[in-house]
Amino acid sequence: MSPSRSAQRNVRDVVFVDGVRTPFGKAGEKGIYAGTRADDLVVKCIRELMRRNPSLPPERIDEVAIAATTQTGDQGLTIGRTAALLAGLPRTVPGFAIDRMCAGAMTAVTTTASGIGFGAYDVVIAGGVEHMGNHPMGAGADPNPRFMSERLVDPAALNMGNTAENLHDRFPAITKDRTDSYAAASQAKLAAAYAKEQIQQDLVPVATMKPGQGWALHTTDEPPRPGTTVADLAELRTPFRAHGRVTAGNAAGLNDGATAAVLASAEAAEELGLPVKMRLVSYAFAGVEPEVMGIGPVPATEKALRNAGLGIEDIGLFEINEAFAVQVLSFLDHFGIADDDSRVNRYGGAIAVGHPLASSGVRLMNQLARQFEEDHSVRYGITTMCIGLGMGATVIWENPHHAAYQSFTADQATTATTEGAAA
C-alpha cells in the first residue's frame, strides 16, 4: 500500500474568523442600490475583509464561494471567481458560484467549511449577494412543465407568500395578532441594536451614484421602520389571500445586499494570527413539503442537534432568518420557546433589516458572533433559515469566549502533543 493511501486523515476544526456585509437596501428604482451592480457589492465585502485582517496574505486564500439565487447578468459568470478577480485577489485564487435560494451564503459557508475540515483548504472567503432590484425573484425562470402537469408540487408552492399562508393554516394557534406582535418586536430590537452600535461594526460603507442626484455614501440599512406598532401592522392588506394573515409588515421585504466571511482551519487561524469568533460544531439541511417551506428549520435543526450530540436546551442563542413571522413562530412553538424569549434574534431580524435572499446566511452569522462576544455565558448558538421549494438549513456554532471552549482547546492541544510524541 502506498504511503498516501495508508496516511491517516483527521477532520480539522473550522473557525469563523470575520464577517461583513453591505447595508441592505430596498429593491426597486427608489432603493439605494438602483443602478449599482451586484458584483460590485460583493467586491466591497471582500476588500473590507482583507482590510480588516491585515495578517491574512491574499495568496493564502484557497477558495472564494459566492452565492446568488438568480445567476444571470451581474450575478452570473461564476460570481465567486469574477468577484475575486475584481477585488484584486491573486489570479491563483479560484472561485465558484453556488445556489440554494435563501440559504445560498449559508451553503457557501458549509461547503467551504467542509473543504477546510477535509484538508483541501486552509482559508476561504464565503458569502452571497442578491440584487432583487436588478433580478426580481423568479424572473426569467422556466419551471419544468411536469411540476404542474404531474402535480409534483402545488402551484402555490412557487409563491413564498402563499406557503406562509399555508403554514398559518397548518398551525391555527399562530394568529395574525401573534405575527404582528413578533414583527413589531423585531423592528424594536433592531432599533435598540443600532442605538447600541451593535450592527454598524460589520457594515461596509457603500458609495453609489445616481444620475441627477450625484454621489451618496450609505452606512446604514434602508428597510427598517423604527417605531412600528402592532396597530400600524394591523392596517396592512394581505396580498396573498383575501382576509389572510401574511402582510408586508410581518414578512421580509424585497431587498438588495451582499455579505462575505473568512473561515479558516483552527491551525491556520493560529498561524496567521487571525481572530476566532466562532467554531463550527455541526450543520444540516433538510427537505420538507414545498407547500409549507417555512417549517424547514425544524427538521434541519433536529438533524444538526443529533449530529452534534446536543439538545435544544443546550442552545443559548438563536439567529433565525425572519422570512415570515409565522415561520419563526412555528419553529419556536415546535421547540417550546416563547415568542419573546431573550435568546432569539437579540438584534432583530429580516422583517426589520431585510432579506436579500442568498446573502442572508452570513448576516445571521455576523450577528451571532457579536452576541457571543458580548455574552460569554453562552456556549452554543445556531443560525437557521427556511429555503424556497421546501428546505431548511441550520448551523450550530460554539462560543470561543466560553470557559468550556478554553478547556476544550487545551485538551485538544494536549492530545495532539501526546499523539505526536507516540508517533
Active-site annotation, residues = 102, 355, 386
Pairing of strands 63-67, 278-287: unpaired
**Helix, strand or coil, per DSSP, at residue 43:** helix
Q: How far apart are CA 401 and CA 300, in angstroms?
A: 26
Place of cell 451582499: 258
Q: Is the distance from CB of 68 to CB of 359 less than 8 angstroms?
A: no
Q: Is 413 exposed, middle or buried (0-12, 13-18, 19+ CB in 10 A)?
A: exposed
Is residue 276 a contact partner of residue 14, using CB atoms and an 8 Å limit?
no
Q: List strand residue ranges (DSSP E) for 99-144, in order.
A: 123-131
Taking residue 268's Cβ as centre, other Cβ atoms within 10 Å add up to 21
Identify residue 268 by its one-letter amino acid code.
A
Cell numbers of 371, please? 452576541
Reference 404, options 320, 344, 316, 318; nearest CA is 316
Residue 108 and residue 98 in contact, taking contact as beta carbons nearer than 8 Å: yes
In which element (H, E) is residue 406 found?
Answer: helix 403-422
Q: Are strands 380-387 and 315-320 parallel, antiparallel or unpaired?
A: parallel
